[in-house]
Structure 1
Amino acid sequence: MRILVTRPAGQQQPLMEALQSAGHQACHCPALLIEPLPVSEDTRRRLMDLDLYHAVFFASANAARLALSAMADLWPQWPVGLHWLAVGKATAAEMATWHLSPEVPAEGFNSEAVLALPCLQMLNEKKVLICRGDSGRELLANALSSRGADVVALPFYRRRANPDFQLPEDCHWIMITSVESWRAVAPHLSAGLAWSGGIVAAGERVATAIAADFAGEIRVAASAHDADMVAALPDREPG
């Protein structure tokens, strides 16, 4: 089958290779464009206090790449005693390139899974830094605050819909890994478009957002991880 991968540019290759290894044709068109944000003086001041934090969490591989680059300008050696946290394996792989050994959920790869990590259970009078984009879920920050943490959330990039997004006419399935990606793709799947394919959604939350706008077949992957997305595909075309 022909599968469209919609991950941002630079993040698509592992999933495309996994699809090709499974015998599918993979093509790529990003749903979202990632635009780095300038590192403000306020952000620099907060990063200079990195050694005061109990944990530093990176919400995506983009957040890890951009935040760690900013941190490296201020810290020739990483401070010790911190819990370095990744939302999933791709983010952990990016952190490894910076010589960090992050803690990552065994499964789930979302905010709920991160909240189950042992280091985030007792947080009274502890500081937690969240490195992320300029939009997204507030679940993690709110939950950590409710556990007593002093939470600082810093944005390092913004997402915007790709104005040049195109859906190949011979595509059987689209892979959607976030609610933001779906919001960018949905306008291209209007009633006037002659397309009868299906969508693979990364988890129930993404699938629920898709189902509100899309009447076609939706397959729900266990997570946004490459193996889970490929495993959610059926052995047939949609319909």
Structure 2
Amino acid sequence: MAEQPLHGMRVLVTRPVHQARSQIERLHTLGAEAVALPLLEIVPVTEAEHVAFNAIKSKILDLDLYTGVIFVSPNAARIGGQWIDAYWPQLPIGVHWLAIGAATADSLEACGIPAHYVNGGYDSEALLCDPLLQQVAEQRFLIMRGEGGRELLADTLRARGAQVDYADLYRRTCPRYSPDLIKRTIFAQGLSAILITSGEALSNLLELAGTEPDLLSTELIVPSQRIAAIAEARGFTRIRIADGPDDTSMIRALRPAD
């Protein structure tokens, strides 16, 4: 029988539905009970939203005018790749395709877009340290993201003299669950750990489940010191920082059952 170091653990998986399957399968393989409760819904902009849709379309049609196009997440890569495929049968020449994190680069590769990323880097801070983004005065960049994302990347590039535009491809919304489902999922049997990969997902968890002591004392696995600080400020008392937001790193940070 394969080794199951997580046997006996009940782990809350909070990734969006389309991103959770691999994590759930890995947890099952390692012996854990994976409980799915997506805390973000990814809602792409549609043609019915005329202003937002046309704003994205104009940026996509002008891709060849940009020095670099930056994708901030696998969702931005997946949805952005669909936009590019619709309007550019062949990729424009001379554009640097940049990804935050290996998972984002992998999503772009699946769309036929070879992207540069910082090996071992998972956030804007890591990409901003890359040599490609140091001397950028008078260069143009397009950031592919969801509405309301962090401003650090654009603000820093602008401070370095670049012109930066956004393509806000999707919205992140909080799913709605009944109080009974929340009770059965989180409180009825108790959780060994919760996997959280964004501050927004953490806020949604608290909105849905409240600030019950049983929740705040559950071990929380997060991918960065930034999100750990948010969790601590919101009252969580047992926080572990994984090496990154990818499935392997998040699961490796789990403590085996006693």
The CA RMSD over aligned residues, in Å, is 1.8
Gaps of 5+ in 1: none
Between Structure 1 and Structure 2, the one with more helix by share is 2
Pair 1:178-2:208 in alignment:
no
Q: How many residues align?
A: 237
In structure 2, the residue matched to 1:197 is 218
Mark the structure with the bigger radius of gyration: 2
In structure 2, the residue matched to 1:20 is 28
Name the SS for the 2:194 alignment partner.
strand
CA contact (8 A) 1:121 1:147 kept: yes
1:161 aligned residue (134, 157, 174): 174
User: Which stretch of the first structure deviates more once superposed, 31-40 or 147-156?
Assistant: 31-40
1:57 aligned residue (70, 73, 90): 70
Residue 191 and residue 60 in structure 1: after superposition, are their counterparts in 2 closer, same or farther (change >3 A)?
closer
CA contact (8 A) 1:123 1:149 kept: yes
Cα deviation digits, residues 135-190 of structure 1 (max 9, x gap): 12100010111111110111000011111273333321110000000010013443
In structure 2, the residue matched to 1:37 is 45
Amino acid of the residue matched to residue 28 of structure 2?
A: Q
CA contact (8 A) 2:41 2:173 kept: yes
Amino acid of the residue matched to residue 26 of structure 2?
A: A
Q: Kindly state the Cα deviation for residue 31 of structure 1 after the two structures are TM-superposed.
A: 0.5
2:161 aligned residue (148, 159, 169): 148
Pair 1:79-2:97 in alignment:
no
Pair 1:208-2:229 in alignment:
yes
Name the SS for the 1:62 alignment partner.
helix
Name the SS for the 1:12 alignment partner.
helix
Amino acid of the residue matched to residue 137 of structure 1?
A: R
Cα deviation digits, residues 57-102 of structure 1 (max 9, x gap): 1111111121221222211101122111111222112111111211
Q: Kindly state the Cα deviation for residue 44 of structure 1 after the two structures are TM-superposed.
A: 1.4
Name the SS for the 2:116 alignment partner.
coil
Name the SS for the 1:45 alignment partner.
helix
Residue 189 and residue 210 in structure 1: after superposition, are their counterparts in 2 closer, same or farther (change >3 A)?
farther
Pair 1:225-2:233 in alignment:
no
- What TM-score results when the alignment is normalised by the length of structure 1? 0.92
Q: Kindly state the Cα deviation for residue 192 of structure 1 after the two structures are TM-superposed.
A: 4.4
User: Which stretch of the first structure deviates more once superposed, 166-175 or 146-155?
Assistant: 166-175
Cα deviation digits, residues 26-65 of structure 1 (max 9, x gap): 2211011111113522321221111111111111111112
Q: Kindly state the Cα deviation for residue 201 of structure 1 after the two structures are TM-superposed.
A: 1.2
CA distance in 2, matches of 1:137, 1:191: 25
CA distance in 1, matches of 2:30, 2:200: 27
Name the SS for the 1:34 alignment partner.
strand
Amino acid of the residue matched to residue 108 of structure 2?
A: M
Residue 59 and residue 210 in structure 1: after superposition, are their counterparts in 2 closer, same or farther (change >3 A)?
same
In structure 2, the residue matched to 1:100 is 113
User: Which stretch of the first structure deviates more once superposed, 135-144 or 20-29?
Assistant: 20-29
Gaps of 5+ in 2: 1-8, 47-51
- What TM-score results when the alignment is normalised by the length of structure 2? 0.85
In structure 1, the residue matched to 2:127 is 114
